[in-house]
A and B are shown apart, each in its own frame.
Chain A
Amino acid sequence: MYYGWAGTILRVDLSRKQAKKQVLPKELVENFLGGRGFNSKILYDEVKPGTDPLGPENKLIFGAGPCTGTIVPCSGRWTVTAKSPTTDAFGDANAGGHWGAELKWAGYDIIIFEGRAEEPLYLWIDDERVELRDAKHLWGLDVWETTDALKRETGDPNVEVAAIGPAGERLSYPACVVCDYTRGAGKCGMGAVMGSKRLKAIAIRGTRGVRVARPEELVKAVEESINILKTEDQWWFENFSKYGTPIFVMLFQHLGALPTYNWREGWFKDAEDLSGELLYNKYVKKKRACSACVYHCSAYCVVDDGPYAGTVGEGVEYEATGGFGSKMGNRDLASTIAAKTLCDKLGIDLINCTETIGWAMECYEKGILTKEDTEGLDLSWGNHTAILEAIRRIGYREGKLGELFALGSRKAARRIGKGAEYYSITVKGQQMGLVEPRPMWAWGLGFATSTRGGDHLRTQPAPEFMFTPEEAEKFIGTPKISDRFGWEGKGRLVAWCQHIRAINDSLENCKYFFRGSPRLYVEFPAKVLTATTGLNWTYETVMKCGERIYNIEKAFNVREGLGRRDDYLPERFYKEPLSQGPFKGTVMPREKFDLMLGEYYAVRGWDKMTGLQTREKLEELGLKYVADELEKMGRLAKPTSRRKGTKKG
């Protein structure tokens, strides 16, 4: 029996309409922590290279972490993993809310979906009772209607539901899986994979609970960590709780890193109109939180007046106010709330959706997309009625425009050609989160080397400005990380952060929890993991797990044929200098980027030139079978004498 982990994997064969329970292997627990780590390992082991992401051979894996459903602060998250249709490589997405906790309380760590149902189904989990039920009557309903219907149908309004909307059903690549009405597991088109399996929803009622190994120790660790959070950076704790992520609009504006006009600029002249303060003062009615959160950064918003009067929504985050705002040259804050709610209902990922529409707007301006292509839709900068209409068409995959946009920006750009791909801001095909990399180089490297494509959360190198040089020297191994425009030490920083984030994601802790203090990054995971699970964890063993998780994800991508050329940012960031804001004239010089990338590969113990993994590294992490498989495919780095040197250093 485990403490922390529920100890059960639920394997659901949709083709045969069967569900079976498996014991969680000890080997998985000790080496991959939970959540994202479990999912990544299972995906690597069970999905062969070249699998069609939307075919029945792909697997869809939901996972919660060892701390999910406990009192560990901000531990209410869950991860869904599958091969991604957006990137045709490794894909996963992460969301908060209460669904993950409910999954754990019902007694499961992981659900693996295999095959494809003949007719729409939904999964009903009532503790040990698991049932695949008919969902024909739900097919076509939006996420909110589905959630309401399932709460009625199961007879318990406390049931937690994760569902897809029309976008997922129609295999739109920007589709996501939404739980708690408004919390989308967005990245990598997970909604489309779920739709391809004809799985409409997963409804859970969990009462069995999670057992904790050392309750007193856990309470102490939790109280201590909250204390650190409240005392070390009081400003952050109070303001992030009050305003949530929309506060980043003005923060990034001051850093010159607020993506504007589809990443052409890093500074928006009307950013004040989109600020977190304005959102809070004008629209926020109530603060809300995920399971076990000490911040409550989410907010319930109501629009009282103007053309969008009557719109309600929750979780209007920075990606919404910035994405539908500055990125599209739109200064109407109410319209971003309306757009966010529409996305939630249709089950569309914000980042993919805003990126695709932003890309289309620039193409429209440049004449690459004409009014004929858009079927009369005027995609001028800031036209928010057109933005809402475009979202609707993506969701329902309606008309020529809907068909095109449903591919996401990169695949759509490839389809229309005419140089449109230059304007599609993606890494490995995945749309980038809203941080401008030109004045923030570490973030740029993080985007480029992320295993699920352009994603800020895989790395989130916040230690760049949080750590003192001494702390940086101690933990990261170089004091030179705080210079935003210096290349040295960035590879080390990014690799370190990626391990930490892999741990955060595997414990299913919210990354913003750690933002409060450097001490939390280092001490907290091992401490709460030890108290929760009763196994002895140290900083070193946990970090090793982080590295292992990152390497197995990388190996999945390498096996799919990805290499160094996929670890680059879009051309725009190397070529076009910013023309406005505090960092006017800045680019990210390609040669500097190459230096960072080289350092990054070296720190990781991968081949410095090709970026392929080495046998030494994989064996050190206990992934010999991965090395063997990659070698057989010719995708393992060839041994050289120089690399042996870096291994020792």
Chain B
Amino acid sequence: MICSLKKTGDLITPTKARVRVMKRETLGVDVPVVCRQCEDPPCRDVCPTNAIIRNPETGAVTIDEKRCIGCRECMLGCPFGTISFDVNRGVCVNCDLCDGDPACAKMCQWGVIRYERADLADLARRRMAMEKIREAAGKTEAAVKS
């Protein structure tokens, strides 16, 4: 919701938010749907006006709204369905990482949304995986001993 507020100025609505969480209550699942900032983005490939470019500073896959003709090809091209169409302005919109200062990450109280260097995040994940394996190994060891 902070996304919608920041991007529109004063309006809060889920359709204007570029980060969305899809929920399935009966399964207890909440899935965040947000641009993956692909290395080789299909949305860029299908854009007929070359409006989708990579921001050289943040690396974000951004839509140049001046060039965008609102054909919505990119929405079809995105395998994750993260691009949305702004009906009021007639352009496609996407998470642009707020030019390197994402409002959602600032608002998130639990560190679930973080803005980090991809390679460092990767290292952290490896560390977590190692801990998990170690824990599992410990459990097996304990089971063997008993």
Question: Which A positions have Cβ atoms within 8 angstroms of B?
Answer: 3, 69-71, 105, 144, 148, 158, 180-182, 206-213, 215, 218-219, 223, 226, 230, 241, 285-286, 288, 292, 294, 296, 300, 302, 312, 314
Contacts and interface: CB of A to CB of B under 8 A. Distances in A.
In this complex, which of B9, B10, B16, B23 has the most chain A Cβ atoms within 10 angstroms of its Cβ?
Answer: B10
B146 interface: no
Contacts of B11: 209-212
A294 B109 contact: yes
B107 A210 contact: no
Interface residues of B, number: 22
A207 B14 contact: yes
Contacts of A105: 12-14
Contacts of B109: 226, 230, 294
B40 interface: no
B73 to A, nearest CB: 22
A215 B5 contact: yes
B4 interface: yes
Given A288-B28, A288-B30, A302-B28, A215 B10 contact: yes
Nearest to B20: A158
A212 B28 contact: no
B1 A71 contact: yes
A166 to B, nearest CB: 18
A398 B52 CA distance: 63
Contact of A219 (B5, B22, B25, B28): B5
B142 interface: no
B55 interface: no
Nearest to A144: B26
Given A285-B28, A288-B30, A207 B10 contact: no
B25 A181 contact: yes
Contacts of B22: 158
A215 B9 contact: yes
Contacts of A296: 110
Contacts of A69: 12
A227 to B, nearest CB: 10
B49 interface: no
B91 to A, nearest CB: 17
Contacts of B4: 209
Interface of B: 1-2, 4-5, 9-16, 22-23, 25-26, 28-30, 107, 109-110
B12 to A, nearest CB: 5
B14 A70 contact: no
B13 A209 contact: yes
A336 B11 CA distance: 42
Contact of B26 (A70, A71, A181): A181
Contacts of B110: 241, 296
Given A285-B28, A286-B28, A213 B10 contact: yes
Contacts of B9: 215
Contacts of A180: 25
Contacts of B23: 288
Contacts of A144: 26
A210 B16 CA distance: 11
B15 A207 contact: yes
A532 to B, nearest CB: 10
Given A158-B22, A182-B25, A212 B10 contact: yes
Given A180-B25, A211-B11, A212-B12, 6 more contacts: A69-B12, A211-B12, A215-B10, A230-B109, A288-B23, A314-B25
B28 A70 contact: no
Contact of B13 (A148, A207, A218): A207
B93 to A, nearest CB: 14
A292 B1 contact: yes
Contact of B2 (A71, A158, A302): A71
A219 B12 CA distance: 12
Contacts of A300: 28
A212 B5 contact: yes
Contacts of A288: 23, 28, 30
Contact of B12 (A71, A285, A286, A302): A71
A211 B28 contact: no
A286 B26 CA distance: 12
A71 B107 contact: yes
A62 B17 CA distance: 26
A255 to B, nearest CB: 29
A209 B28 contact: no
